[in-house]
Chain A
Amino acid sequence: MLGCLAAVAVAGYMVYLDGAVRAQFEGTRWTLPAKVYASPLEIYTGLDLSRSEITSRLDRQGYRSSSSLSRAGTYRSSGGRLDIHTRPFSFWDGDQAARQIRLGFDNTGVSSLGAIDDKGDIALIRLDPLMIGSIYPKQGEDRILVKLGDVPPMLPAGLITVEDRDFMNHWGVSPKSIMRAAWANMRAGGVVQGGSTITQQLVKNFYLNNQQTLVRKAKEALMAILLDAHYSKPEILEAYLNEVYLGQDGGRAIHGFGLASYFYFQKPLEELQPQEIALLVAMVKGPSYYSPRRHPERAKRRRDLVLDMFHSAGFLEEESWREAKKAGLGVTTRSVRSTSQYPAFIDLVRRQLLGQYKDADLTEEGLRVFTTLDPTVQAATEARVSKGLDQVEAARGIERDSLQASAVVTSVEGGRILALVGGRDAGFAGFNRALDARRPIGSLMKPVVYLTALADPSKYNVITPLDDSALSVKLANGDTWRPQNYSKRTHGNAVPLHYALTHSYNLATSRLALDVGIPNVIETLKSLGYNGDPLSVPSLALGAVDMAPLQVAQVYNTLAAGGYYTPLLAIRDVTTRDGEPLSRYPLKIKRAVDEAPVYLTNWVMQRVARFGTGASMYNTLPDSLNVAGKTGTTDDLRDSWFAGFSANRLAVVWVGRDDNKPAQLTGATGALQVWSRIMADLEPRGIMNVPPEGVVEIPLRMRFDPERGGDSYNSSRDCSRTAQVPFVRGEVPDGLSSCDSDIMQENRYRRRQPPEQREEDDGNWLQKLFG
């Protein structure tokens, strides 16, 4: 009777265990975080990368130098040429087979691209993209799933040889292998084999528990038998390949050979050499005890032992065996594929995806996410932010490590986010300042004010005289707003419009903003892509609106793209694990603002860079490069901004303090210093200044200079020193002569705005706007 009860109890327990082990097994097959890829490097004739720049990119992606070029993922560099055997890859728009290509170089970059593999000509080819991270649940696990059929056959064969010779025949547990292990250990004079079958080890890994009690052992054995009854040997082996514990990366457990291959060798499993496979197999026994990074000699001894076992089992031939034993461990010095490599960017990707996918889809379905991140641009931006802050602190006598910064880099056209840095230590997944630190933007607002004015070409052009005299405005709440110039000085009542923006005059800008109307300025700001709702107050003219760097980048990107708004994107495509397209993020553009006033505004912002508050950038950038930009500084020097662009790169940099105390920096002394160093690293192409349909250019002498007495600096009539000044077609001022200047007295627009009218505005601007 008692025996019968016990049998029922055991049977019941077996049913329970059966359910548990099956749930675990099924779960492992489907719990896969989304893989996130950087943008792939396109290689083609005319690409402006040198041979060493391409090889360093190859090295970064785990390509190996090899004279034979016989395997995918190798390259050889000789005699000014570079040969690459690319890896096959499934892109969002189809598969690309492995190819062998040859690149020639001249001093501008790639001068020729040809195939050396009989598979036909190519005009361009993509390298497989760098995997930059995964979107995984909070536990900090990560996998790269492999299929049994895709791994080098030596791996499963080696595992069976070393861990469980009887695997194909036993029922999940094997008394025979326990005996064999004991015998082998005796002969080797130490523990070289464990007695657990692969099935038992898999069960043990499911529960991540190393407690070696007798009860647990019995439970493991039972579960192993159940697993063996339910699933085929190949299924169990495949699960094992993906589940086995192979090391620790800080808080992250390295499970499975797919991830371990990247973690230790920085390349896919398919490319591992015999000695590398042997090392991973060797580590199964004790990933921490045999860690090749912490205990290289111990790891090498065990690897060589494993190689011997491969050899005597007959699947490693004599010559390869000798060669393999001579090779070093070959592990990379640090784990480059840490999931926290680009935390700020991955954070943005995750946020963009969460609008469309459920959390579980992202962490379990193994989606493939193709992003816009350019690893080279990201690396340069990170380095420049971190070093730049060190330099700024040293140069200005600011307490070390007191400053923080963030940066965004985009492609201008297409609105692709190429790099995102959320803080001084870019690898630290903390506060993402690029997205979440909203600060007043200061003078970054000014181009929006001037654009609003220039969009009314019958009233404003770039030489319209503006009033830079003292201003006080009574606000609706009874306060009086009294803006001042940064220098605390005024510059008279006839400062050419371009000059006022170039030198960031607060008074002229405030008066201009009140003239055009703050609501109109807000409307322009929104057209440019700002998604907030700023307060309609006069101080908005000087940047009394909080924005995150990414929002600023969106606004300036529309300016940089000539008035065409494109939503900034971090993701271009999402596919399923098998490559089926799920979502595309196609290029969308909208003509947000008229091209002509944008052209005029950008022309003035180039003068900011050449002659104004941004001029120190040319200590770093080449003189031949036309860029446009604007400094931003906020009250008490709390925030230091710079936003600027070339034809193909836009960058926004913020520098300040997390506690919002004064950083003691202007836009020029802080953010601009970092910005120009980033820009110098990005291979920027200069702005071409091809006027759009509605713009004509008139040569004028730019002679306004308040320091030299304005009008009195009139003696020179040197008409050869002129600049092409853009005007909206049909709105060129009357009376321009062939050798005229930017302080032309006949500018009819000035006469349309009698100064007394502005005086009346004091206190009445609200009435004027809404009355």
Chain B
Amino acid sequence: MQRLFALVAVLVLAGCATSQRTTFPPPQTPAPPQSPAPERPASKPGDQVGTPAPKTMPARTAQEASSPAVLSLMGRADTLARNGNMDMSAATLERALDLEPRNPFIYQRLASVKLAQGQTGQAEAMARKSNSVAGNNPFVRADNWQLIAEARRTGGDRSGADEAVGRASDYRSASQQLMR
């Protein structure tokens, strides 16, 4: 439980650190980041199989990237987790995934729950899955690598944890650049 609270604190702090600014200019980087894959059928026919990256700010919080239905399930899952009911919290998050199967914030929360349950392998897998659906969102990725670091540390993998901390801080600087 303590671990979860530590983690929630990490996430909240990370969230606060990045949500203080309310306005942000468009990114200046040559390869603009993409928002997490939206859940809509959209793509170009013909030879152009790839889609160019939309020039939008990636979502920093679940609120920006999730529907009200998913947010309500996440809220319920958080309450369950706070009350120590990790199984039901995970079940509720899985219900949210049925609605938005490629929402990186849901996987991220599942990773926290798995970590709180001591399932470090699943925690890392969920965090990496979150990365894999996060597009180039450095906000999400930074938090995921932080979670991975925590999972590895708990699992006794010191050097792996250090590497993950490095990745987290890389993405944290990338997100700060975006905010500039």
Contacts and interface: CB of A to CB of B under 8 A. Distances in A.
Contacts of B129: 564, 589, 591
A590 B121 CA distance: 9
Given A414-B94, A626-B43, A685-B40, A591 B125 contact: yes
Contacts of B71: 123
Interface in A98-125: 123-124
Contact of B43 (A42, A562, A686): A686
Interface stretch (A286-294, A315-323, A519-527, A603-611): A603-611
Nearest to B38: A688
A43 to B, nearest CB: 9
B172 interface: no
B41 A625 contact: yes
Interface residues of B, number: 46
Grouping DSSP codes into helix (H, G, I), strand (E, B) and loop, the A interface class, with mixed when no group exceeds half, is: loop
B87 A688 contact: no
A412 B49 contact: no
Interface string A552-563: 000000000011
Given A93-B92, A595-B132, A414 B101 contact: yes
B67 A45 contact: yes
A564 B132 contact: yes
A72 interface: no
B50 A697 contact: yes
B1 to A, nearest CB: 19
Interface stretch (A52-60, A530-538, A580-588, A637-645): A580-588
Nearest to A648: B101
A44 B100 CA distance: 12
A380 interface: no
Contacts of A648: 39, 101
Interface in B122-143: 122, 125-126, 128-129, 131-133, 135-136
Interface in B86-133: 87-88, 90-92, 94-95, 97-99, 101-102, 110, 122, 125-126, 128-129, 131-133
A689 interface: yes
A168 B110 CA distance: 57
Contacts of B47: 610, 702, 721-723
A689 B101 contact: no
Contacts of B51: 688-689, 724
A737 interface: no
B14 interface: no
A617 to B, nearest CB: 13
Nearest to A108: B40
A44 B122 CA distance: 29
B48 interface: yes
A431 B77 CA distance: 42
Nearest to A562: B132
Interface in B49-102: 49-52, 67-69, 71-73, 87-88, 90-92, 94-95, 97-99, 101-102
Contact of B88 (A93, A413, A416, A726): A93
Q: Which of A413, A416, A623, A686: most chain B Cβ within 10 A?
A: A413
A647 B102 contact: yes
A562 B130 CA distance: 11
A697 B31 CA distance: 11
A175 interface: no
A221 B41 CA distance: 70
B125 A624 contact: no
B131 A693 contact: yes
B101 A412 contact: yes
Contacts of A725: 50
A526 to B, nearest CB: 18
A605 to B, nearest CB: 11
B42 interface: yes
Bin chain A's interface residue count: 35 or more
B98 A42 contact: yes
Given A44-B99, A413-B97, A690 B67 contact: no
Contacts of B135: 690
A414 B110 CA distance: 13
Interface string A679-704: 00000111111101100010000100
A607 B48 CA distance: 10
Contact of A414 (B46, B97, B125, B131): B97
B90 A587 contact: yes
Given A45-B69, A414-B101, A587 B94 contact: yes
Contacts of A563: 132
A607 B49 contact: yes
Given A647-B102, A688-B43, A586 B132 contact: no
A477 B6 CA distance: 62
Contact of A589 (B49, B95, B125): B125
Given A412-B101, A413-B101, A686-B42, A123 B72 contact: yes
A624 B99 contact: no
B102 A413 contact: yes
A606 B41 contact: no
A75 interface: no
Contacts of A702: 47
B33 to A, nearest CB: 10
Contacts of A669: none
Nearest to B31: A696
Contacts of A413: 97, 101-102
A44 B91 contact: no
Interface in A610-669: 610, 623-626, 646-648
Interface string A409-423: 001111010000000
A562 B129 CA distance: 9
A721 B34 CA distance: 23
A765 interface: no
Q: Which of A123, A610, A726: most chain B Cβ within 10 A?
A: A123
B41 A624 contact: yes
B7 to A, nearest CB: 19
8 contacts: A42-B69, A46-B69, A123-B68, A413-B102, A564-B125, A591-B129, A697-B50, A723-B48
Interface of B: 34, 37-52, 67-69, 71-73, 87-88, 90-92, 94-95, 97-99, 101-102, 110, 122, 125-126, 128-129, 131-133, 135-136
Given A584-B87, A586-B91, A688-B43, 11 more contacts: A44-B69, A93-B92, A411-B101, A562-B133, A564-B132, A586-B87, A607-B49, A624-B43, A685-B39, A690-B37, A692-B131
Sorted nearest first, the 4 A-B pairs with minimum C-beta distance are A724-B50, A44-B69, A413-B101, A123-B72
